[in-house]
Amino acid sequence: MSALWLRSARVVRLCEIVTGVIFAWAGLSKIGDLAAFAVQIHNFRIMPVTLENLAAITLPWIEIVIALSLILGIRSRDAARTALALLVVFTLAVVSAVARGLDIECGCFGTADASHVGWLKIAENLGMIAVAFVAVLGPAPAADRVPGVGRLETGDART
C-alpha cells in the first residue's frame, strides 16, 4: 500500500492543525504558572540550573508562536520542523528521566496535566512526533514559498 496519502494537502494541513493545537495547549498551560514549570524543568536534571528559569520563561512563548504559525498556516513548514525538533528533544528528555529512574511529572502541559514520565509518555510523544513529521513531509504550501527564492521554472521571465 502506498503512503502517498500522507503527503496530500488535506492530511498535511490536518497534521499542522493538530500539532498547532497541541503546542497551543502546552504553551498556554505553562504560562499560568512559570515557577511551577521551572521546578518541573529542574526535576529533569539535564540543564544547568542557571538556564532553567530562562527556559521556563521562553519555552511556552516559543510553543505559542509555533502553534499560531501552524494553525494560521503562516510559514507552517518551518513551524512544523521546529515543532518536530522540540518534540524529539522533549522525548529524549523523557527517555533520559526514565532511564535514570526519576519519578517526576513531565511538565509537558504545565500543572494542567500531572502525568509522570514513563513508557506511556514516551509512546504519546512518539505519536506526536509522527503527526509533526507528516506536517513536515508534505509539499510546501504556496504561502511558505519565499518570492524570488528557489529554482527558476521553465518559462520564467525573470531577468
Instruction: Please report, for the chain, the start and end positions of each structural domain, with discontinuous segments joined by +.
Output: 8-141
Position 108 scores a pLDDT of 85
pLDDT of residue 105: 87
pLDDT at 142: 52
The CA-atom distances, in angstroms, between 44 and each of 13, 62, 147 are 33, 20, 43
- What does the alpha-carbon distance between residue 106 and residue 158 come to, in Å, rounded to a whole number? 52
Secondary structure of residue 147 in the 3-state scheme = coil
Q: Residue 2: its pLDDT value, please?
A: 53
Of the candidates 15, 1, 155, the residue with the CA atom closest to the CA atom of residue 77: 15
- Residue 10: predicted pLDDT: 85
Output b/e per residue, 87-119; b: 16+ Cβ within 10 A.
Answer: beebbebbeebbeeeeebbbbbbbbeeeeebbe
> Which stretches of the chain score pLDDT less than 70?
1-7, 112, 139-159
